[in-house]
């Protein structure tokens, strides 16, 4: 694929958040797409090889620096890419303008290259050779097809003093002329009344459905969801606590406070402050996410389902796993650790804070992967930055509370197990878990982009291998050079090994084309049942949608069949959506109702497939802001948020063929009886409306 994207890995985001919020260094500006720090003009000219070349002219505002396309992926950069549908490839980019080089302390004094003033990038192209016969003689001998389009994007980053903007994408589009030349075309989207009317449904009255049943129970669901996220964060903190980088510091730190303080009560107060500051530091990590654009209800969903971010997360977790396996160690630069450590001490509250920050930085090689997992996991939840704060709070409590408690009850220190090889065992086992997580995020990208790389059975096969690998390691059969097995396997190690082995065996039916392929314990993590190597003949699919990603077609079908519509706002990367589809919809009472009495339409809010050019437009949201509708996901995420004031998935709506709301919408409903009762209520509402219509 020619299109290139720029993204930061979770550890980079984590490190930047900690440093910027606690050390008072440079502040990254919030990306603002309305601030055009670089204005682009697109043209073309013959390249050095005589073939057409794109001319991308950048007008850079005073004081701003535009990063070069020659910068590596590990540093801020700019990129030029073509859409996957483009019948050409980029053979090289010639940069013209005032190219400068300088070291930037914001990026560990790395050498950066950038432009100021104006810059021109000459993009040389090569038409792709055809494997199929020429179509109606349209294709020229040089490979270009007159009348066709060439689309792509410039993804750029720019910096000015303490502010960084980007990565921002600017689309370009060229038409191929009869003589093989390329002519730049406008990519501006227009706002049309007809298109806007297709998303804002005037017939929907959210406050007055036909039957007053259902309801999302938003507050209750939200509170339960936050509690679950807090518990997951807390468990992650406990894992981080027993890592080799953290666990040995508990008795040392507690003894330091209790022995060095003038009185025991003062030592206890200092230890509690130390624990509180650990908690505070991790909570602060979530603060930058509150500055995301508030007018986009789907911003975190858009981020968490971005194809290349998920690929990036998968890569990061793979790196974490290799680090836990002992191939290398991930550490913060020693200059950072030394700088923080130099400011620590117990002479003041500030000194205690920096001692807590020292723990966070020194233990980063062990806690970073766990923290990155929590950040990405919370990001995939619906609820905004609050989810991140709750996850980080759980992590901080688990990591900071023991220091305070052991200071209060110092005799408890004697009951702590001694440091030893068991901590490294925990670290390696967590490496296997990181491998499984890497597959999950790679699967998200695969589903959203429809690559077909990780079908359901392939996913299960790899998870089975990972589970067996973890079991063999715990049994001492697989060995790492840095981790000699203990002379005698402990009972706890054997039990955990058996659990991993049992889990792998439990997943085996997922490889089959039988009704047992629906593995309920892990519903939502593997790809859906329909995403199968067995294709349309796969068994145990459960309920299938009548229509996918075509709301208008569902309306037509409902009118023809005289049935109400069950609108399923879902997502390819939505865990709870898969749980509903695999554990609730197939239940006898629910399956019959959906299949016999409803037209089911599934609308994927995270589908990144571009809409046809004539269906892309600018939509004015309810708060007056402008939103570009370019992809299928853009369209249906906006349809949901604008009409039903909700941006979470799964989200279910019952409407009549004339688009009248029959009941209150519901969200994740794991109880089949409750869900079936809601469907029956909607059916009664539909019959009531049909009777009223017939009596007029």
Q: Is 419 helix (H, G, I), strand (E, B) or coil?
A: coil
- Predicted confidence at residue 280, as pLDDT, reads 87
Task: Note the Cα 9 to chain centre separation in Å.
Answer: 11
* Span 13-51, pLDDT tens digits: 333 333 333 333 333 333 343 357 888 888 888 766 667
pTM above 0.75, yes or no: no
Q: Which CATH superfamily is domain 196-219+541-695 in?
A: Glutaredoxin (3.40.30.10)
CB hemisphere CA count around 362 (13 angstroms): 20
pLDDT confidence of 674, banded at 50, 70, 90? very high
- Predicted confidence at residue 308, as pLDDT, reads 76
Q: Is 470 helix (H, G, I), strand (E, B) or coil?
A: helix
- Predicted confidence at residue 158, as pLDDT, reads 85
pLDDT confidence of 495, banded at 50, 70, 90? very high
Sign of the four-CA dihedral 94, 100, 105, 106: negative
Question: What is the DSSP code string of 180-226?
Answer: S-EEEE-------HHHHHHHS-TT--TT--SS--B---HHHHHHHHH
21 within 8 A of 284, measured Cβ to Cβ: yes
pLDDT confidence of 291, banded at 50, 70, 90? low
Q: At a CB cut-off of 8 Å and minimum separation 6, what does 487 contact?
A: none
Least confident of 244-248, 552-556, 623-627: 244-248
Question: What is the DSSP code string of 292-354?
Answer: S-TT-TTHHHHHHT-HHHHHHHHHHHHHHHHHHTTS------HHHHHHHHHT--SSSHHHHHH
Whether cis (ω within 30° of 0) applies to the bond prior to 167 is yes
Between strands 149-160 and 163-176, the pairing is: antiparallel
- The 3-state DSSP composition of the chain as helix, strand, coil percent (nearest 5) reads 45, 20, 35
- Predicted confidence at residue 13, as pLDDT, reads 37
- Predicted confidence at residue 343, as pLDDT, reads 47
> Across all residues in the chain, what is the average pLDDT?
76
Q: Is 382 left (phi over 0), alpha (psi -120 to 50) or beta?
A: beta
Whether cis (ω within 30° of 0) applies to the bond prior to 650 is yes
- Predicted confidence at residue 470, as pLDDT, reads 93
Domain 31-129+145-187 sits in CATH at 2.60.40.1250
Mean pLDDT, to the nearest integer, of 366-374? 59
- Predicted confidence at residue 76, as pLDDT, reads 80
Mean pLDDT, to the nearest integer, of 464-487? 83
**The two three-digit tokens of residue 282, written as one number:** 């991790």
- Distance (Å, rounded) from C-alpha 264 to C-alpha 222? 42
Mean pLDDT, to the nearest integer, of 563-571? 94
Among 57, 47, 68, CA closest to 172: 57
Percent of the chain with pLDDT over 90: 16
- Predicted confidence at residue 652, as pLDDT, reads 95
pLDDT of 1 over the 50 cut = no
Between strands 599-604 and 547-548, the pairing is: parallel
Percent of the chain with pLDDT over 70: 70
- Predicted confidence at residue 498, as pLDDT, reads 95
Calculate the alpha carbon distances from 246 to 325, 364, 412, 659, 684 in Å.
18, 9, 17, 58, 59
- Predicted confidence at residue 325, as pLDDT, reads 84
* Span 389-435, pLDDT tens digits: 888 888 888 887 887 777 666 666 566 555 556 667 877 888 898 89
pLDDT of 570 over the 80 cut = yes
Question: What is the DSSP code string of 345-407?
Answer: -SSSHHHHHHHHHHHHHHTHHHHHHHHHHHHHHHHTSSSTHHHHHHHHHHHHHHHHHHHHHHH
pLDDT confidence of 490, banded at 50, 70, 90? confident
Q: At a CB cut-off of 8 Å and minimum separation 6, what does 403 contact?
A: 250, 253, 254, 271, 274, 275, 278
Task: Note the Cα 188 to chain centre separation in Å.
Answer: 28
308 within 8 A of 7, measured Cβ to Cβ: yes
- Distance (Å, rounded) from C-alpha 312 to C-alpha 167? 15
- Distance (Å, rounded) from C-alpha 577 to C-alpha 570? 6
pLDDT confidence of 314, banded at 50, 70, 90? confident
Calculate the alpha carbon distances from 304 to 181, 312, 318, 511 in Å.
39, 11, 18, 28
User: When comparing pLDDT for 193 and 626, which is higher?
Assistant: 626
At 351, give phi and psi (nearest 5°). -65, -40
Q: At a CB cut-off of 8 Å and minimum separation 6, what does 136 contact?
A: none
- Distance (Å, rounded) from C-alpha 194 to C-alpha 198? 7
Domain limits, the chain: 1-26+242-419, 31-129+145-187, 196-219+541-695
Q: Is 41 helix (H, G, I), strand (E, B) or coil?
A: strand
Strand partners, 82: 152
Between strands 163-176 and 79-82, the pairing is: unpaired
- Predicted confidence at residue 129, as pLDDT, reads 56
* Span 202-218, pLDDT tens digits: 899 888 899 988 775 44
- Predicted confidence at residue 23, as pLDDT, reads 32
pLDDT confidence of 344, banded at 50, 70, 90? very low
């Amino acid at each position: 694929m020619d299109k290139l994207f720029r993204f930061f890995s979770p550890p980079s985001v984590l490190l930047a958040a900690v440093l910027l919020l606690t050390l008072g260094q440079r502040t990254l500006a919030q990306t603002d797409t309305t601030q055009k720090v670089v204005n682009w003009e697109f043209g073309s000219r013959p390249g050095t090889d005589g073939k057409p070349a794109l001319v991308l002219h950048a007008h850079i505002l005073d004081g701003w620096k535009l990063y070069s396309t020659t910068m590596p992926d590990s540093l801020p950069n700019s990129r030029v890419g073509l859409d996957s549908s483009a019948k050409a490839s980029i053979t090289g980019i010639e940069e013209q303008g005032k190219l400068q080089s300088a070291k930037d302390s914001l990026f560990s004094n790395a050498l950066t290259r950038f432009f100021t003033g104006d810059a021109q990038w000459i993009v040389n192209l090569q038409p792709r050779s055809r494997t199929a016969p020429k179509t109606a003689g349209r294709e020229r001998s040089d490979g270009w097809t007159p009348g066709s389009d060439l689309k792509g994007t410039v993804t750029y980053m720019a910096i000015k003093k303490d502010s960084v903007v980007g990565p921002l994408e600017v689309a370009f589009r060229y038409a191929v002329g009869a003589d093989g030349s390329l002519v730049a075309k406008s990519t501006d989207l227009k706002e049309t009344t007809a298109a806007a009317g297709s998303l804002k449904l005037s017939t929907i009255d959210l406050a007055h459905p036909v039957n007053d049943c259902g309801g999302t129970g938003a507050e209750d669901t939200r509170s339960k969801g936050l509690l679950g996220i807090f518990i997951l964060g807390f468990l992650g903190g406990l894992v981080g606590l027993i890592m080799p980088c953290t666990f040995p510091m508990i008795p040392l730190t507690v003894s330091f406070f209790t022995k060095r303080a003038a009185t025991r009560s003062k030592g206890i107060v200092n230890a509690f402050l130390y624990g509180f500051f650990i908690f505070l530091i991790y909570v602060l990590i979530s603060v930058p996410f509150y500055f995301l654009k508030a007018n986009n209800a789907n911003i975190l969903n858009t981020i968490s389902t971005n194809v290349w971010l998920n690929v990036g997360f998968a890569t990061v977790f793979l790196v974490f796993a290799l680090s836990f396996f002992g191939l290398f160690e991930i550490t913060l630069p020693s200059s950072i650790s030394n700088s923080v450590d130099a400011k620590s001490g117990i002479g003041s509250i500030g000194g205690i804070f920096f001692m807590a920050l020292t723990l966070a930085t020194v233990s980063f090689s062990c806690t970073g992967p766990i923290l990155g997992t929590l950040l990405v996991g919370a990001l995939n939840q619906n609820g905004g930055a609050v989810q991140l704060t709750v996850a980080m709070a759980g992590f901080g409590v688990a990591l900071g509370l023991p220091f305070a408690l052991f200071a209060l009850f110092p005799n408890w220190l004697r009951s702590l197990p001694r440091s030893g090889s068991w901590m490294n065992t925990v670290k390696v086992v967590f490496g296997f878990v990181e491998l499984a997580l890497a597959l999950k995020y790679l699967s998200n990208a695969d589903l959203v982009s429809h690559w077909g790389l990780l079908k359901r059975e392939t996913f299960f096969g790899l998870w089975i291998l990972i589970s067996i690998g973890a079991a063999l390691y715990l049994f001492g059969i697989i060995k790492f050079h840095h981790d000699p097995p203990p002379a005698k396997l402990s009972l706890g190690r054997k039990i955990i090994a058996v659990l991993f082995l049992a889990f792998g065996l439990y997943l085996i039916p997922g490889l089959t084309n039988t009704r047992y392929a629906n593995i309920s314990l892990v519903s939502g993590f593997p790809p859906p049942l329909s995403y199968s190597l067995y294709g349309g003949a796969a068994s145990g699919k459960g309920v299938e949608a009548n229509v996918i990603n075509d709301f208008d077609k569902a309306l037509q079908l409902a009118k023809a069949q005289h049935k109400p519509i069950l609108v399923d706002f879902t997502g390819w990367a939505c865990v709870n959506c898969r749980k509903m589809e695999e554990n609730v919809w197939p239940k006898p009472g629910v399956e019959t109702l959906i299949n016999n009495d409803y037209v089911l339409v599934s609308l994927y809010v995270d589908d990144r497939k571009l809409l046809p050019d004539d269906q892309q437009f600018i939509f004015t949201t309810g708060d007056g802001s402008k939103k570009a509708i370019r992809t299928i996901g853009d369209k249906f995420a906006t349809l949901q948020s604008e009409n039903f004031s909700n941006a979470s998935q799964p989200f279910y709506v019952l409407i009549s063929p004339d688009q009248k709301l029959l009941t209150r919408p519901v969200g994740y409903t794991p109880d089949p009886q409750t869900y079936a009762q809601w469907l029956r209520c909607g059916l009664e509402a539909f019959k009531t409306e049909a009777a009223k219509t017939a009596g007029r």
